[in-house]
Structure formats: C-alpha cells, structure tokens
Chains A and B, each alone.
Chain A
Amino acid sequence: MTRTDRGLLCGLVGAFALQTGLTNGLYRYLRPSMRPWVVLAGIGLATIALVVLVPELARRMRRRPPTGAHEHPVSRIGWFLALPVCVAVTIGPPALGAFAAGRGSTLRDLPEIDFDLDAYLTAASFGGQVPDVRVVDFVVGAEDDETAATLAVQPVRLTGFVVKSDHPHEFRLVRFLVSCCAGDALPTAVVVRTDAAIPPEDTWVTVSGTLDRAATAADTESFAAPVFRADELDRIEAPDKPYEFPT
C-alpha cells in the first residue's frame, strides 16, 4: 500500500463522513446528536488526506523517487476501509423498514417517557386540531390507566410505516426507536383498525384516531401493541427523520 493509496483511502472515508454528516442521510443511520462528531471526523480525515496527498503529488510532478523514510509497512487490512464507501454508493440503503420490524424482538420494555402526555395533548389540541404524538409516547401512554383514558377520547395523529397483519381491515403501524445507531433499533408498533384500503408494506402513512381500550385489552395476539381506531389515513412521503429518538 503506497502513501498515495493511504491518503486516498482516508480522503474517501472522510468524504463519506462529510457527505453523510452534512445531509439528512445521517438520520438513516444515527441519532441526530452524533452529527457534529461525524462532521468533525470527516474534516479530520479529509485534512490528513490532503496533508499526505499534496506533498506526494508535488513529488510525483517533479518525478522524484519516494523518500524511503516515509514508507512504513501497513497490512493489507486497510483496504477494507473502502468497503463502507462502496456499500454506501452501490446499495445506498433506505432506512430500516418492514423487514427489520418483522425480526425485532417483541418482548421489550420501552424507556420511560419524561413528559406529561395529558398536558401536551390538552395544549396541542387547542382549537380542535389533532395533535401529533410519537408512536413510542402513544405505546407507553396506552399502558398507563390515566393517560389511556385521555387517549381513548382525545384524537391524535401518528406517523409510521405499514407492516401487514394477518387480519383484514387491520395493519401494524411501526416506527423504530433508536438510542444510538440503527444497529440498536427497537420496533414500536400500534395495531391500526380502519375501513380504508390498506396500503402496501413499507408505505409511510399518518393515521388520526383514538385508542380502542376494549380491543387492546381483548387482543392477546399482538404482543401488547395498543389497538388504534383510525378515522383518517393519509399516505405521505418518508419523513427526514425515519426513527424516533429517546429525549
């Protein structure tokens, strides 16, 4: 591996980090608070690549042989650094979807949510608007008797993607909760019952409606996912932030 190869590899990875760190592509992989660190890492790698490459280029222009003092053996493993860049460019994967949702564990404790759902709903529904609620807040709220009573009467709007269900007039609305990176994503799901036509899997939708407490208590099959009675269902474009993040 020559000095030029090393400089180019660092530059390539730096460019990838900058490209991801400076666009919304970041949200497919990481929690938003990682953004400055990814950008800094990108700047660092790009700088070191320039520091290595510019003198090399100058040397080659002058057709001088490489100065032996700077050639250090590096094992070939370094070439694997090109792999993430190649994967990002060729596959350019979308955010985690129905495939991962069908494989995530369903027996999970959700983190405790630190805000007053009742107060939030009362304030946000001022003037008859339907407030947006995160899927994780809805799922956690449905487990508590007091908030569940509010969610059963106060219509809310949820956003997520569609995962098929075995029953007619029903689908699972899923959203991932990501603590650090997509590698630790936990699926959170709501069972949506609706009279509208059910969109294909992985379609992003918003649904407005209320918690069906009786059906939630009766439903033993869906692993404690709350049942949501949807009055309205709209297809939407995939949002910029495909995952929900705790706090």
Chain B
Amino acid sequence: MSINPVSPERAIAVPCTAEGDVVRKRVSNRTRAATAVWAYVIWVVVYRKSFRFLFADPAVQNWATVFLSLCLQALPFLVLGVTVSALIAALVPSDLFVRLAPRRPLLAVPAAGFAGALLPGCECSSIPIAGRLVNRGLAPAAALTFLLSAPAINPVVMVATSVAFPGRPEMVFARFGASLLTAMIVGSVRGRFADPAWLERRLADHVHERRWHTFVDTAVTDMLQAGGFLALGAALVATLQTVVPRNALDSVAGHGMTAVFVMAVLAVVLSVCSEADAFVAAGLSQFSMTSRLVFMVVGPMVDLKLIALQTGAFGRRFASRFAPLTFATAVGVASVVGIVVL
C-alpha cells in the first residue's frame, strides 16, 4: 500500500503576509480534511473483515450490489467521454467550431442532432463532451441538442431496441424520431432563451503550452468532477431501488395518461443505462406501447444520475431548469409520436 496519509502539502511555500496567513490556514484545513479521507480509506482496507458484520443485512447488501453495478457499468463510458473531451481540449483550436458550425441555428441544431448518432455510447459519455464543446465556442443550442440526442439515437441503442422488441420495427423508428425531435426542440428553446449566466464555466479551460499537459489536466479534472457526481447519482438510484420494490408497480399499471405518467417517472427514478433500457421497457408488459416509448425517450435524457452529472458539468441553476423542460418536452413528443405511429 503506497498511500501516504500524511500529506506533505503543509510545506507549501506561501508569502509571509496577512493574506498569506489566511491562505496557509485554508490550505492546512483542506489538507487535514484530505488526510482524514485517506486515513479512513486505509483503515477500511486494513480492517475490512471486522466491519462485515455491520453490513450483513440483505437490504444493505442489495444496495451495495446495485450501487456498484451502476458505477461499474457507467465507468467505461465515463472514461470514454472524458478522454474525448480532453482530446478536444488539447487538439481542437478554440475557434474551430465557431468557424465550422453552420451560422444559422436552423441548420446547426439538426446537424448537431444527427451528429449525436455517431457517438456509440450511453448518456455518461455525452455530458463531458457537450460541456467541452460549449467551452470551445459551439452554440449552446447545438451542444445541448447533441447532449440529448447522442445517448438516445446512436446505433448501439437502436440495435438494442430492435432486439428487445422483435417484430416491431416501428418501435425503433418511433424512438429515433421522438428522441431526435425532443432533442432539437429542447436544444433550440434552451439555446435561445438561455440567460448569459447559464453556463457557469464549470469546465475551465486548462490551456498549457504543451498539449500533453492540457490533455492530462483536463482528463483528471473532468474525471473527478463527473465521477463524483456519478457515484452520488448511483447511490441515490440504488437507495430508491432497494427501498421501493418494483413489484409495487404491479398494481398501478394502467393505460392512457396514467401509464404514460407512471412510466415517465419510472424512467427518471430507475436511471437505467440507455443501452439497457429497451430490455427493461420490453419487460414491463403491463404498460401500453406508447407509455413504454415514453420510458425509452425520457430515460436517456432525464434521470437522477443524469441530473447529478449535469449539475456537475453546467451548474445547479442550469440543471434545475433544463431537467423539467426536457422532461415535459420528452413526455409530450413521445406521447404524440406513440399515438400516431404505434
């Protein structure tokens, strides 16, 4: 174990002024907190066997299994997203998107929507990438459209949907159309009426003289930011899944708007990865086809894990407006598409 719990950060060189004293005090408080966290981690690793009796309860173990599986499942996609985001920061000149993107939002938004189909991943990779694109000067309307469409309409998700609903190709088309439409509507609305402060520049640009340094710094910072929120979101989802049994839904199943509403809320609460949500939707056979379409359109755009990640990438003010807007639009668009197509 190579972890040194005593951080030598106290030896930091600070100028000897009154201001320096304040800085030094703050630094030493932070160092103490960090040391406490590391000491706890080591303690837990060394004495893990003696804690097991505390966690023998099946509910706690169920929580831990669900929590860890959500974290592990999202991790590769998060690493992919963070890597692409860091590559953009290191390699793409900061004015490229401003020059490349179509001037008119009328063209930029659909272009960004279809570009989302190229990213073969789930929602966890698209958030760091979208944040970086805005940071690089892409119009917010286009970046937000990409953020919403990428996890919903990429080829991996489309194939999963067709496998989960065999013999019902209209489900795949309905999902593609409703997701793309929702992404473009929300992107344009949010992009047009965004107050200038909506992006709190959480993702600071770490420009160094050497590109390699820019890459490493951006990757580590983004990873910690997004990963921290991911762990928080996964903990919340695992708690809900453990506390509220899924068979509580067996009796509330219904048709019409009740089913649509229940499935929309379920998509937010369950936070199933967009690559797997088609299988879950296919299994919820007591619900109408339209409400299952709503589940698959809402899920990749708004869920607890995503709200946590969006808060991390764009700030709390942004997330608190973006999530309800997206939720309402997704439910509306998917219901209409479902009634017409399915």
Which residues of chain A come closer than 8 Å to B279, judged between CB atoms? 111, 179-180, 184, 246
Q: With A2-B9, A183-B69 in contact, is A10–B44 under 8 Å at CB? A: no
Would you give the shortest CB distance from B297 to chain A, in whole angstroms?
Answer: 18
Cβ contact of B7, chosen from A2, A96, A99, cutoff 8 A: A2
Is residue A205 within 8 Å, beta carbon to beta carbon, of the partner chain?
Answer: no
Q: Is the interface of B mostly helix, strand, loop or mixed?
A: helix
Contact with B along A166-190 (1 / 0, CB 8 A): 0000000000000111111010000
Which residues does A use to contact B, with CB under 8 Å? 1-2, 4-10, 12-13, 17, 20, 26, 28-30, 34, 37-38, 40-41, 44-45, 48, 51-52, 60, 63, 65-66, 69-70, 72-75, 77-100, 102-112, 179-184, 186, 246
A residues within 8 A CB of B247? 103-106
Least Cβ distance of B119 to chain A in Å? 15
B75 proximity list for chain A (CB < 8 A):
13, 17, 38, 41
- Per DSSP, are chain A's interface residues mostly helix, strand or loop, or mixed? helix
B48-56, B92-100, B129-137 - interface stretch: B48-56
* A1, B34: Cβ atoms closer than 8 Å: yes
A65 touches B65 (CB 8 A): no
Count of chain A to chain B residue pairs whose CB atoms are closer than 8 Å in the complex:
229
Tell me the complex Cα distance, A77–B220, Å: 13
Question: Beyond A29-B68, A30-B69, A107-B250: 18 further Cβ-contacts under 8 Å?
Answer: A1-B30, A1-B224, A30-B72, A34-B72, A48-B220, A65-B11, A78-B225, A84-B231, A87-B67, A89-B44, A92-B48, A109-B283, A180-B275, A183-B70, A183-B238, A183-B241, A183-B273, A184-B276
Mask of B184-208 contacts with A, CB within 8 angstroms, 1/0: 0000000000000000000010101
Report if A180-B276 is in contact (Cβ < 8 Å); known contacts: A86-B44, A90-B48, A105-B247: yes
Contacts of B204 in A (CB 8 A): 72-73
B217, A70: Cβ atoms under 8 Å? yes
